[in-house]
Structure 1
Amino acid sequence: MFGIIRPCAHSLSERLHGEWLGHLCGLCLALRDEHGQAARIVTNYDGLIISALTQAQSPTVQRRTAGPCPLRGMRTALVAEGVGARLAATVSLVLASAKLSDHVADGDGAYARRPVAAGARLVARRWAARAHRSGLDLGLDTGVLLAAVYGQREVEKAIMLGGSLLTVTEPTELATAAAFAHTAVLAGRPGNAEPLAEAGRFFGRIAHLLDAVEDVAADRATGAWNPLLATGASFAQAGVLARDAAAGLRLALAEVELADGKLVHRLLVHEVDHAIERTFTGADPGYYPPVVQPGKKGRPPKPPQPSGSGSCWWPQVERPPATRGPIFGCAVASWMCCTCQVCCRDPYPGPWSGLPREGWCTNCDCSDCGDCCDVCKCCKVCKHCDCCDCDC
């Protein structure tokens, strides 16, 4: 599970957290039902926004009861279903297919080995074909998404030192805009398509910039391509573009007619702002955690574990990052979720990328709802932005 929108459970009211979890589980189950068990590994936190946007525009809410799941503590839950969850699954699968193909083309990590590359190509083609069939059922041409993603390679080849970061982020913006706009079609609100496309462009820009900033140290160490390194853009310049895009995203969402926009507003306004500040405020773009994996030639010994760390804190962070394939990465992700590492460990290595990630609740400000907002003392969310569930 990955993405820039990672809300802390304490920063959402009980109702909104239940809705958010319902969309996440609905996306996971939609991937399983339409594309098989293996497809569930592409479940991601940003993809559920597609499901949330579709439901927010619909007058009726489609939910079903899902069975016990280890990631929910073996509890049942009401999860999202219908066209929104299916669209989120389709978009997540087609983008994962393109990313997998990109790793093979670049020969990243284990993908440089022929057997691994051959298997990855097979999985990518299968995912792309299944996503295309699902997209046709939903009226979405996934070729638009793939063309935008594959156009990224041409942009990366053409970009030179001194080039614009916005040129690099444009393919991601186009793909996200198409996905956001199609939620209006499925919800029967065609008038929302244009402002949602604009919101999608800004969200895609933010996601690309934050991903580039988080990866810059590891990409510098491994010699991988990175937008900041390729264009020579500074950390501050990326921050300005991200914050400007967040302001544009807020304005675009204000023009969208929603039946119930509380969760969408919380995710795409407040949580996006938190993600930007989490990435840029007080961070050092050259920072990278020390190598702590012992027993390998040429690497320093394992330092003492910090106080409060778990006894099951495995795997360790490495430099260069230790990448993992889809199946092993899924197993590591399950282990890290079950041992609470993604919540309580800071930093923890990404299950697939090996890159250091910030623990969800290690730097959580559960009462911060933005400079322009007043926080409800009962449910700890914004009153003026129509997020509050209370009558106080």
Structure 2
Amino acid sequence: MFGYVMPRMEDLSQEERERYHAAYCGVCRALGERCGQRCRVALTYDMTFLALLLGSLYEPEERRGCKRCAPHPLKPHEYACSECVDYAADMTVVLVYHKCLDDWNDDRSGWARAYAALLEKSYRAVRERHPRTCAAIEEGLADIGRLEQAAAAAESADEAPPPDAAANRFGALLGEVFVYRDDFWADGLRSLGAKLGKLVYVMDAALDMDDDRASGNYNPLVALDARPQDVREDLELLAADAAAAFEKLPLERDARVLRSVLYAGVWQKYRAKEEKLAKQAKEDKEARRG
């Protein structure tokens, strides 16, 4: 999911941008304090969305400040921390750890293997704090691995798993990450996480088709011989489902920032790809004419 779940900054006011960056810095600070300084390298924008979402729903007490830090030693940065930010930091470690393992398995990336080794101790500590969530993630990733193996072993399309099976499983996995507590809001958060996870999985598959076709890595859209633009309507339906689940939650604080993520931010990479393909098609057409 990395690199998709972030706002479109030009949609936000200066105050909203500062608020978002304070939460982002809060997740970074929590990573260092809870999991060790080396884990701050795992920081992504994506879990900042979860920190703001849970903070808006549960409204925990925030700890705010403005300090220098190792990544920014020259200029103090405002930060906002809370128990929801701490949870987002923990989930950052879990997801990045497994992403590194996945990169090692798929591409034999030495960097990914080395960083997974560095994160392993912190991951085990997080697993002790959140055993249910980590177990759900591990089970979900194992299921996705089995689906990929089944697709690779299938001799025909009829024998292969359904094209959306892995996307559904990843959605269910992310749904469990969104469940902060087993309470009244659990089902709503699980639904939002599942729908957002499926959207991100399919969008990532659409953008990675060329690379996965060349490398042989599993991608359900490659098997369908689809193009990124072929799944635009499907992505719009998935995005609408995620937005509908989001709107069912009674969120007020940071609502504009969160909506910027769901209604615009998640589309940024896909639209950049569309523009690139359109430009390439135009250049090819002009070259043929010339």
TM-score normalised to the size of structure 1?
0.62
- Whether the aligned pair in 2 keeps the contact of 1:164 and 1:231 (CA below 8 Å) is no
Say if 1:193 and 1:5 are closer, same or farther in 2 by CA, change over 3 A: same
- Tell me whether 1:143 sits opposite 2:123 in the alignment: no
Q: Map Cα deviations across residues 351-376 of structure 1 (whole Å, 9 max, x no partner).
A: xxxxxxxxxxxxxxxxxxxxxxxxxx
Alignment of 1:160-179 (within 5 A): 162=157, 164-179=162-177
CA–CA distance in structure 2, aligned partners of residues 73 and 38 of structure 1: 16
Q: Map Cα deviations across residues 182-207 of structure 1 (whole Å, 9 max, x no partner).
A: 2xx38xxx333222211111111121
SS at match of 1:248: helix
CA–CA distance in structure 1, aligned partners of residues 48 and 68 of structure 2: 20
CA–CA distance in structure 2, aligned partners of residues 264 and 61 of structure 1: 19
- Whether the aligned pair in 2 keeps the contact of 1:206 and 1:242 (CA below 8 Å) is yes
- Whether the aligned pair in 1 keeps the contact of 2:133 and 2:177 (CA below 8 Å) is no
CA–CA distance in structure 1, aligned partners of residues 247 and 102 of structure 2: 36
Say if 1:36 and 1:62 are closer, same or farther in 2 by CA, change over 3 A: same
- Whether the aligned pair in 2 keeps the contact of 1:63 and 1:81 (CA below 8 Å) is yes
Query: Is the helix fraction higher in 1 or 2?
Result: 2
Tell me by how many angstroms 1:61 deviates. Answer: 4.9
CA–CA distance in structure 2, aligned partners of residues 126 and 232 of structure 1: 41
Q: Which of 259, 269, 291 is 2:263 aligned to?
A: 269
Tell me by how many angstroms 1:235 deviates. Answer: 2.6
SS at match of 1:191: coil
Tell me by how many angstroms 1:69 deviates. Answer: 4.5
- Whether the aligned pair in 2 keeps the contact of 1:101 and 1:124 (CA below 8 Å) is no
Say if 1:233 and 1:217 are closer, same or farther in 2 by CA, change over 3 A: closer
Amino acid of the residue matched to residue 204 of structure 1? Answer: G
SS at match of 1:78: strand
What residue number does 1:351 align with?
Answer: none
What residue number does 1:35 align with?
Answer: 35
What residue number does 1:254 align with?
Answer: 247
SS at match of 2:143: helix
Tell me by how many angstroms 1:110 deviates. Answer: 3.2
Say if 1:254 and 1:107 are closer, same or farther in 2 by CA, change over 3 A: closer
Tell me by how many angstroms 1:132 deviates. Answer: 0.5
Unaligned ranges ≥5, structure 1: 288-392
- Whether the aligned pair in 1 keeps the contact of 2:22 and 2:80 (CA below 8 Å) is yes
CA–CA distance in structure 1, aligned partners of residues 101 and 39 of structure 2: 15
Tell me by how many angstroms 1:121 deviates. Answer: 5.6
Say if 1:73 and 1:216 are closer, same or farther in 2 by CA, change over 3 A: farther
Q: Map Cα deviations across residues 239-284 of structure 1 (whole Å, 9 max, x no partner).
A: 22221111011111121112422322222233234454344x4453
SS at match of 1:225: coil
CA–CA distance in structure 2, aligned partners of residues 35 and 4 of structure 1: 24
Amino acid of the residue matched to residue 127 of structure 2? Answer: H
Tell me by how many angstroms 1:86 deviates. Answer: 1.3
- Whether the aligned pair in 1 keeps the contact of 2:7 and 2:257 (CA below 8 Å) is no
CA–CA distance in structure 2, aligned partners of residues 145 and 171 of structure 1: 10
Say if 1:120 and 1:277 are closer, same or farther in 2 by CA, change over 3 A: closer
Name the stretch that deviates more: 52-61 or 145-154. 52-61
- Whether the aligned pair in 2 keeps the contact of 1:24 and 1:48 (CA below 8 Å) is yes
- Whether the aligned pair in 1 keeps the contact of 2:27 and 2:86 (CA below 8 Å) is yes
SS at match of 2:67: strand
Tell me by how many angstroms 1:157 deviates. Answer: 1.1
What residue number does 1:348 align with?
Answer: none
CA–CA distance in structure 1, aligned partners of residues 19 and 102 of structure 2: 33
Query: Which is bigger in relative contact order (C-alpha 8 A, separation at least 6)?
Result: 2
What residue number does 2:283 align with?
Answer: none
What residue number does 2:286 align with?
Answer: none
SS at match of 1:75: coil
Alignment of 1:31-180 (within 5 A): 31-69=31-69, 74-110=74-110, 117=113, 119=114, 122-123=117-118, 125-135=120-130, 140-159=132-151, 162=157, 164-180=162-178
Q: Map Cα deviations across residues 135-156 of structure 1 (whole Å, 9 max, x no partner).
A: 25xxx53111121123221111
Say if 1:15 and 1:252 are closer, same or farther in 2 by CA, change over 3 A: same
Say if 1:37 and 1:60 are closer, same or farther in 2 by CA, change over 3 A: closer
What residue number does 2:188 align with?
Answer: 195
What residue number does 1:241 align with?
Answer: 234
Percent identity over paired residues: 19
What residue number does 1:211 align with?
Answer: 204
What residue number does 2:284 align with?
Answer: none
Say if 1:230 and 1:28 are closer, same or farther in 2 by CA, change over 3 A: farther
**Count of residues paired in the alignment:** 272
What residue number does 1:284 align with?
Answer: 277
CA–CA distance in structure 2, aligned partners of residues 129 and 202 of structure 1: 28
SS at match of 1:165: coil
What residue number does 2:287 align with?
Answer: none
Amino acid of the residue matched to residue 173 of structure 2? Answer: A
Say if 1:141 and 1:271 are closer, same or farther in 2 by CA, change over 3 A: closer
Name the stretch that deviates more: 239-248 or 154-163. 154-163
Amino acid of the residue matched to residue 244 of structure 1? Answer: L
CA–CA distance in structure 1, aligned partners of residues 140 and 80 of structure 2: 28
Q: Map Cα deviations across residues 76-116 of structure 1 (whole Å, 9 max, x no partner).
A: 233221211111111111111212222333352436xxxx8
